């Protein structure tokens, strides 16, 4: 991963709907997101690599990237948090250094916000009013779990009219694999159980005194790499 820069070195950022992040990176999912997407769309939509769930890729890109650069999961309320906050990284500690330049006060707490300069929509320089007053606060709120709706942190393309078309299930992720070593239960059941009650509500709260979960998109591993594709079974919709 390239070195992230603190937000105070960023002049502005806008989503260009270029699809670069959807083709260059493999998108990680939180357990609740993996279960929701698999239940709503089908288990083909999630693949597991080295024990971690990701959005499925088809033809060298995210399966849910439309031809005009839109996210097909966005209007369905299923867009992963990793996608919503990228190219920014939010944490409670200055995990990428330059503490003073990364510090951002919001929601009565101190956050540390960095940006990935590989995003084509990122412009370095003195932070502008839009970045400081709209983009960064929204990104922090999404990461903290107190906001889901995107405005400043997504593209300015007009909303699509009509029904969102989800691609047909490709010939991937139709098998199953038990990823819980020695547990005797498949991953889908484990995830659904762990995110079904109090743990799910607690997980939405910002961590106190801990570094952020690394939700940065993972560069795609070339075919034949060590992290081979695995597949997962999810519980069927009731």
Q: Residue 170 has what pLDDT?
A: 45
Q: Between the ranges 193-197, 210-214, 222-226, where is the mean pLDDT highest?
A: 222-226
Q: Residue 236 has what pLDDT?
A: 42
Q: Which residue has the tokens 């509500």?
A: 201
Question: What's the pLDDT tens digit per position in 55-98?
Answer: 999 999 999 998 888 899 999 999 999 999 999 999 999 999 99
Q: Residue 155 has what pLDDT?
A: 83
Average pLDDT over residues 162-190: 37
Q: Residue 215 has what pLDDT?
A: 46
Cα–Cα distance measured from residue 30 to residue 21, given in angstroms and rounded to the nearest whole number: 18
Q: Residue 23 has what pLDDT?
A: 93
Contact, 138 vs 152, CB < 8 A?
Answer: yes
31-41 and 187-194 helices cross at what angle (nearest 10)? 120
Cα–Cα distance measured from residue 62 to residue 78, given in angstroms and rounded to the nearest whole number: 14
Question: What's the pLDDT tens digit per position in 6-35?
Answer: 999 999 999 999 999 999 999 999 999 999
pLDDT of residue 51 exceeding 80, the answer is yes
Write down the domain spans for the chain.
Answer: 5-157+192-205
Nearest to 92 by CA among 34, 154, 140: 140
pLDDT of residue 165 exceeding 70, the answer is no
Q: Residue 167 has what pLDDT?
A: 54
Question: What's the pLDDT tens digit per position in 146-160?
Answer: 999 999 998 875 544
Question: What's the pLDDT tens digit per position in 102-140?
Answer: 999 999 999 999 999 999 999 999 999 999 999 999 999
- The string of DSSP letters for the chain reads -PPPEEGGGEEEE------HHHHHEE-B--HHHHHHHHHHH-GGGEEEETTEEEE-EETTEETTB-TTS-BTTGGGT---HHHHHTTEEEESS-TTS-HHHHEEEETTEEEEEEE-TTSTTEEESSPPHHIIIIIHHHHHHHHHTS----STTS--PPPPPSPPPPPPP-SSS-S----STTT-S-HHHHHHHHTSSHHHHHHTSPPSSSPPP--PPEEPPPTT-SS-EE----PPP-
pTM of the model as a whole: 0.69
């Amino acid at each position: 991963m390239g070195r992230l820069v603190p937000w105070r070195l960023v002049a502005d950022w806008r989503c260009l709907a270029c699809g670069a992040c959807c083709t260059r990176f493999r998108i990680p999912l939180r357990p609740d997101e993996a279960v929701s997407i698999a239940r709503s769309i089908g288990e083909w939509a999630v693949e597991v690599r080295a024990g971690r769930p990701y959005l499925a890729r088809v033809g060298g890109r995210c399966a849910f990237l439309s031809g005009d650069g839109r996210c097909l999961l966005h209007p369905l309320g299923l867009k992963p948090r990793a996608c919503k906050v990228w190219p920014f990284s939010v944490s409670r500690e200055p995990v990428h250094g330059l503490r003073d330049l990364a510090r951002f006060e919001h929601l009565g707490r101190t956050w540390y916000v960095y940006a990935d300069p590989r995003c084509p929509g990122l412009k370095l320089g003195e932070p502008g009013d839009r970045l400081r007053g709209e983009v960064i606060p929204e990104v922090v709120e999404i990461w903290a779990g107190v906001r889901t709706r995107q405005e400043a942190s997504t593209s300015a393309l007009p909303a699509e009219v009509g029904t969102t078309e989800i691609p047909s299930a490709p010939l991937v992720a139709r098998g199953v694999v038990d990823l819980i070593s020695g547990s005797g239960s498949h991953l889908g059941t484990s995830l659904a159980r762990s995110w079904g009650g109090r743990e799910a509500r607690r997980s939405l709260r910002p961590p106190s005194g801990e570094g952020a979960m690394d939700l940065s998109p993972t560069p795609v591993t070339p075919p034949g790499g060590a992290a081979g594709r695995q597949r997962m079974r999810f519980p069927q919709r009731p």
